[in-house]
A and B are shown apart, each in its own frame.
Chain A
Amino acid sequence: MSVDKATVAKIASLARIKMSDEELERMAPELSNILDWVEQLGEVDCTGVEPMTAVIANRQRLRDDEVNADPKTGGGKRDEVLANAPAAEHGFFGVPKVIE
């Protein structure tokens, strides 16, 4: 049993997912099973092996450092960005009060 209910509750809080006691109860053994199974990776001798960073070698492209250098990746799209917001106000995303 690699994770218990308390650990799952802590992970859920880190992941910002509210979970009921009953859900934690149900999920803990499932996650434990999965984590016990992935632990077999510890058997693999990885001495001198670098962790993979790019699956297909590719160079990192940089665009010109100017506003809207490429219109395809440019800005000026406030209305589109806000179009699906649950509570857009005054051209911003609305959220519950953060500071008392």
Chain B
Amino acid sequence: MSELTNLGVKDIRDGVARGDFTAREVAESFNAAVEEASALNAFIVTTPDHALAAADRVDADRATGKDLGVMAGVPIGMKDLFCTHGVQTTAASRILEGFEPQYESTVSSNLWVAGAGMLGKLNMDQFAMGSSNETSHSGNVVSPWRRNDGGNTPMSPGGSSGGSSAVVAGRIAPAATGTDTGGSIRQPAAFAGIVGVKPTYGRCSRWGIVAFASSLDQAGPMARSVEDCAVMLGAMAGFDPKDSTSLDMPVPDWAGGLDANLAGKKVGIPREYVMEGTDQAILDSWERGKEWLRDAGAEIVDISLPHTKYALPAYYIVAPAEASSNLARYDGVRYGLRDLPDGAGLQDMYAQTRETGFGDEVKRRVLIGTYVLSAGFYDAYYNQAQKVRALVARDFEQAWAECDLILAPTTPTASFPLGDKSDDPLAMYLNDVFAVPASLAGLPAMSVPAMLNGDGLPLGLQLVGKPFDEQGVLNAGLAIEQRAGFEAQPEKWW
């Protein structure tokens, strides 16, 4: 039944509903694929029994004629940032090693109610801080993609949702959850040649997701087609009284509303996104993207987002500031690691636990956040960054007078070899330069595969929409998907 692993979310669900195969057969096929894929290091823990139990419930429901959910029979990967009841959740950090939540995150719970099962907890950058999946305490995730030079240089799957992008691209899971704080769904989706959607801030509950930067964190789906993402997002989203920033709005039927006819739509091309240091192949893919959208009936217009240049530095104040506050909870008292040297007092225990438990990148960001929030620096750094953030958001608001959607590259480069940028934090940050502005403004955005570059590596195109207009973003993504004909997949070497 190995061909079952080639199926996506909708095909699995429909096949199970029709009786072409059972949910159990699907779960068994993917469990086997997970077991074979240890070379990618994409999972921190695997949960084959969870996948099988969910599948058996779906098969039993079908046998008794009950209604099946929109994810019925679909086993997925769960990013290790989502708390899962009784299943270790670490955010890929040593400081949470052994932590078994006594509750289920709202998003994962929604997915189980919709009939999905869990293949395992996916590796990621530690506390979602990273763009290459090299900051995990559980080791690097290796991309299933390799360059077409015949070599075997291990490539980055992107980050922070790198385990998610790797398993979906490698046909080890039909879909996976991701979270996006400053590009962590879109950038790995682009690197891995899959689709990733970050909805409007507040669409998906943050309850039970290990917090990184709460004003930016959003969950979203990662899958191999736009339609699969639309189906899965519909299952993930919804109002949640347990999240104070959750949107109290109905969830549209995004999958049912998909329509690739863009007649009457205006797509803005932000001139400030033409930046030095962007690969020529990326610029070529952007040109093709314009052609594809024009072919779908859209009008392409030139727009300006004047504060684009300042979005990334503003992000690297706001996100670390929130992180330093959120991560104050890891103190060796309530959960996770406690490092208590002989005879040490409470303060020493805090400092020693955090020294041992946090990785370098997490320490860097906590320190930056502590600095920019400290007395005497708050106004110059944090307040100024929040003002610039308001200007970045205003740029978008003004742009919506001239267009309905924005088309841009997802990343300035394709995937790079693991280790290439890990010595230079700043160079790593710059990989999110096109992704961060939409995060700062809370806008729905997605990455959709466009083409392969000369090295045989995938490139993604990014669509950004107005608040709450996931449908417009998905429709344009569909128009690109239909015209790009992106069929490439990594050759199995693992």
Listed in ascending order, the chain A residues whose CB lies under 8 Å from chain B are: 3, 7-8, 11-19, 27, 30-31, 33-35, 37-38, 40-44, 46, 49-56, 58, 60-61, 63, 70, 72-73, 77, 80-81, 83-87, 93, 95-98
Contact = CB atoms under 8 A, between A and B. Distances in A.
A93 B389 contact: no
B364 A86 contact: no
Contact of A55 (B244, B352, B370, B440): B440
A3 B371 contact: yes
Interface string B323-338: 0100010011111111
- Classify the secondary structure of B's interface with A: helix
Given A51-B387, A55-B201, A56-B467, A8 B367 contact: yes
Contacts of A61: 241, 244, 248
Contact of B388 (A46, A80, A95): A46
Given A58-B247, A73-B241, A51 B338 contact: no
Contacts of B391: 44, 46, 49
B367 A60 contact: no
B333 A34 contact: no
Q: Name which of A17, A30, A58, A73 has the most chain B CB atoms within 10 A of its CB.
A: A17
Contacts of A58: 202, 245, 247
B99 interface: yes
Q: 6 shortest A-B CB distances, which residue pairs?
A: A51-B386, A55-B442, A86-B338, A80-B102, A84-B335, A18-B355
Given A31-B368, A34-B316, A84 B334 contact: yes
Given A41-B384, A55-B440, A96-B340, A30 B364 contact: yes
Contacts, number: 171
Nearest to B340: A96
Contacts of B248: 61
Contact of A33 (B345, B352, B426): B426
B425 interface: yes
B435 interface: no
Contacts of B355: 17-19
A19 B381 CA distance: 24
B13 interface: no
Interface of B: 98-103, 200-202, 215-216, 241-242, 244-245, 247-248, 307, 309-310, 313-314, 316-317, 324, 328, 331-338, 340, 344-352, 354-355, 358, 360, 363-364, 366-368, 370-371, 374, 380-381, 383-391, 393, 425-426, 429, 440-442, 467
B310 A44 contact: yes
- Classify the secondary structure of A's interface with B: loop
Contacts of A38: 313-314, 316-317, 381, 385
Contact of A11 (B99, B374, B426): B374
A15 B393 contact: no
Contact of B358 (A17, A50, A51, A95): A17
A43 B358 CA distance: 34
Contacts of A81: 102, 334
A63 B335 CA distance: 28
A60 to B, nearest CB: 7
B215 to A, nearest CB: 6
B151 to A, nearest CB: 31
B334 A93 contact: yes
A93 B307 contact: no
24 contacts: A3-B371, A11-B371, A15-B324, A16-B347, A17-B366, A17-B367, A34-B316, A38-B381, A42-B384, A46-B388, A51-B386, A51-B387, A52-B386, A56-B247, A56-B442, A61-B248, A73-B241, A73-B242, A81-B102, A84-B99, A84-B334, A84-B335, A85-B334, A95-B346
B24 to A, nearest CB: 32
A56 B202 contact: yes
Contacts of B367: 8, 11-12, 15, 17, 27, 31
B313 A11 contact: no
Contacts of A19: 355, 363
Contacts of B245: 54, 56, 58
A34 B368 contact: yes
B317 to A, nearest CB: 6
A16 B389 CA distance: 29
B242 A80 contact: no
